[in-house]
Amino acid sequence: MAVTRRGVLVAALAGGGLALGYAIGPRRYPLPLAPREGEAAFDAWIRIGREGVVTVAVPQVEMGQGVTTLIPQVVAHELGADWRRVAVEPAPVSARYANVALAARWAPLWFPLAPGLADEPDDLIARRWAEDHLFNATADGTALAAFEGAARAAAACARAMLAQAAAARWGVAWEECAVEQGFVVHEGRRLSFGALAEEAATFAPPATPPLRPEPATERPAEFPPGAPLRHPRLDLPSKAAGAFTFAGDVRLPDMVFAAIRHAPLGASTSLSDLDEATAKGLRGFLQVVRGPGWVAAVATDTWTAENALGRMAPRFKVAAGVDSMTVDAAMDAAMRAGAAHALHEQGDRALVRGGLPVQIRYEVAPALHATVETGAAAAWLHDGRLELWAGTQAPEATREAAARAVGLDVRDVVLYPVGIGGSFDRRLESGPAVEAATIAKAVDRPVQLCWARREEFRAGLPRPPVVAVMAARPDRAGGIAAWRARIAVPPTAREFGRRLFGGEAPFQASAAVAGEADPMALDGALPPYAIANLAIDHVPATVGLPTARLRGNAHGWTAFFNESFVDELAHRAGREPLSYRMAMLGRDPRLAECLQRVAALAQWGGGDASGQGIACHRIGEGRIAVVASARRGAEGARVDRLSAVVDIGRIVNLDIARQQVEGGLVFGLGLALGCSVRYEGGRPDGERLAGLALPTLEDCPDIDVEFVESAAEPADPGELGVAAVAPALANALYSATGLRLRRLPFFAEEL
């Protein structure tokens, strides 16, 4: 709902108080990145130097998704810049870069009493809240939705100002000038951006940005196999050379290094034993720092700090430590007798209630993120100011958490954004930065903290356990007359929201939302098919395990439930799985096209003993259809090929879109085969990547991806593959082996 009237709006915000009078008029904010000597600034997005280099500010963290190429590409296209002379700079937190699209999507988390007032990007409340809270978070693939418009407008105005500067020299109308490849041209004359930038910055930007007729677009047909890239990624050269800066690369004068041990996951923990005397003889060891639920050793190098902790052998006293047997029992109890919240109902209620003829149970186990880079941060507290170097998806929340930890005002915390070596939503949590800040305060020196892999797993919160009973009432032709999903899952999105926006501790947040309905925990549960009578119920399970977001989030389990179930219904009806789906997709021709095209791409054999399985899913405006091809061998079943057809609307960078879909498919394959952990006494049963049954390069199947050319608004490609691959794989393994796998991850002995 867009708020357009003037006056005072009274709304209950997330903190429970009353906020009065969000002003209607536009606000002015200072430039987050001031131009350097020899540069001219054009809005908050663009700086142009005398040498002609165009530097683009990117207010999203680069964590492999290619955002430090996508936004500069949007600017380069609209500006008319030479791609070879485009640079990128991470932007600091600023209201200028408010991620209103994500704020609107997450309105139920920060505005729970009336999210309908702020759940669209053009809602005034969402914009004001995002600006006031410096909400620059990176999540849910919202970079283009949030920033393409502003970046295009800034680039279009800069292009007009450059043309005005050139036109003033030539004595012509600026509208007659063209801007291309880093030059302003007119009837054989041309001037470079570098020669015009400082003069152009003195002109007033047009009141209405003169946008080019077509935004940045790459069409699949323009890039046959082997075609050169038009816009290669800007971050790859520095990553290949080892020059790309991660938190672990930061070095400061007089820096010391910390190692850490975290307490087991439990409702209450305390340090019960620490033999400090055993570490005092180590050369380079400096001191011990204790924090809430952790203890750290500080030394002149990381090896000494780790060795010191090993000698001191810290032990923790844990009350109500997480135990997987207890979690399983709680999930079973919730599914059997838990109170259900009806999130969606349509059609005849009598047809979807009671005992339906077909009822099948599916399960999803907790899973860890398995990031390449473990948690890391550098901190320096001096002269009343805290400086932080941390890779974070939520920079302002990280600043606020660090400020609370060391007793500073958030205005006295400076965060220098650095890249992340894979996050999958893990770095929406701010643990490493808070710990590094606490240690820096205790030692009064710059400190770097890098978690060992075991600490990444010990301190990490998993995606939630989920149990679903999918029920259907077939009609006489074998179609679906009624569909009901009863899904038990903790209100995981709500507890994450209380941690992110309220600063609450994990067990505090999960206790606060116990029993609450959480529609975001069931995103994607509404199937894309035309089913007249349908019900979706959420059972908010209380399991004693704090949970977190993970790539794919709710779509990672709802797609598995829906597409496994519809496949089983097709086989029960004696129907071919592809045509069974197609018959119900009259209202979604885009998804139907994906299914038809993937069947041709994979040479679909019908799915009956062919070793092939099919699945489709949609996330927002993005669609995907996947065919997995498996075969049975002497050592079990093996997946040889994944074929996918994707419709993500207009594509800005085809190569990055392909990388994201392929990466999502492999990530989803990892979730289907591994990533799961069991807890005993608050400790995970695995503390190494090798113990997670992740697919290696040898295990990865051949992957074919095709894109549908579309004029629809861009959709994020990064989550689609994660969601769709598990059900396609389950359906393929049924076709190859006759065995139905209804639990994620699939057990190794079953494969």
Q: Do domains 31-99+136-216 and 325-367+463-750 have the same CATH topology?
A: yes
Half-sphere exposure of 463 (CA within 13 A, CB side): 26
Percent of the chain predicted with pLDDT > 90: 90
Which residues, 6+ apart, have CB-to-CB distance to 467 below 8 Å? 331, 332, 334, 335, 361, 362, 363, 364, 487, 488, 489, 541
Domain 325-367+463-750 has CATH 3.30.200.20: no
Please state which of the ranges 4-13, 168-177, 285-294, 553-562 shows the lowest mean pLDDT. Answer: 4-13
Over residues 242-270, mean pLDDT: 96
Q: Supply the pTM of this predicted model.
A: 0.94
Backbone conformation region of residue 625, classed left if phi is above 0, alpha if psi is from -120 to 50, else beta: beta
pLDDT digits (tens, 9 = 90+) for 127-150: 999 999 999 999 999 999 999 999
Percent of the chain predicted with pLDDT > 70: 95
pLDDT digits (tens, 9 = 90+) for 70-100: 999 999 999 999 999 999 999 999 999 999 9
pLDDT digits (tens, 9 = 90+) for 697-745: 888 999 999 999 999 999 999 999 999 999 999 999 999 999 999 999 9
**Residue 176: phi, psi to the nearest 5?**
-85, -10
Burial of 272 (0-12, 13-18, 19+ CB in 10 A): exposed
First to last CA, the chain: 49
Identify the pLDDT of residue 4.
Answer: 34
- Asked if residues 448 and 366 have their Cβ atoms less than 8 Å apart, the reply is no
Which residues, 6+ apart, have CB-to-CB distance to 247 below 8 Å? 376, 377, 378, 389, 390, 391, 418, 432, 448, 450
Domains of the chain, residue spans: 31-99+136-216, 247-262+275-313+375-450, 325-367+463-750
Structure tokens of 604? 């679909």
Give the 3-state secondary structure of residue 240. helix
Alpha helices in 602-684 (DSSP H): 654-673
Identify the pLDDT of residue 699.
Answer: 82
Q: In DSSP terms, which residues pair with 747 in a beta bridge?
A: none
**Euclidean distance between CA atoms 377 and 247, whole angstroms:** 5
Average pLDDT for the chain: 93
**Residue 727: phi, psi to the nearest 5?**
-65, -35
Structure tokens of 355? 């005992």
**Euclidean distance between CA atoms 110 and 497, whole angstroms:** 7
- Asked if residues 287 and 280 have their Cβ atoms less than 8 Å apart, the reply is no
Q: What is the CATH number of domain 247-262+275-313+375-450?
A: 3.30.365.10
**Residue 6: phi, psi to the nearest 5?**
-85, 165
**Euclidean distance between CA atoms 388 and 377, whole angstroms:** 7
pLDDT of 170 over the 80 cut:
yes
Q: In DSSP terms, which residues pair with 598 in a beta bridge?
A: none
In order, the DSSP letters of 251-296 are: --TT-EEEEEEEPPSEEEEEEEE--GGGGTTSTTEEEEEEETTEEE
Q: What is the CATH number of domain 31-99+136-216?
A: 3.30.365.10
Which residues, 6+ apart, have CB-to-CB distance to 634 below 8 Å? none
The band of 652, judged by pLDDT with boundaries at 50, 70 and 90, is: very high
pLDDT of 23 over the 80 cut:
no
- Angle between the N-to-C axes of helices 720-737 and 555-572, in degrees from 0 to 180, rounded to the nearest 10: 30
Over residues 490-506, mean pLDDT: 97
pLDDT of 285 over the 90 cut:
yes
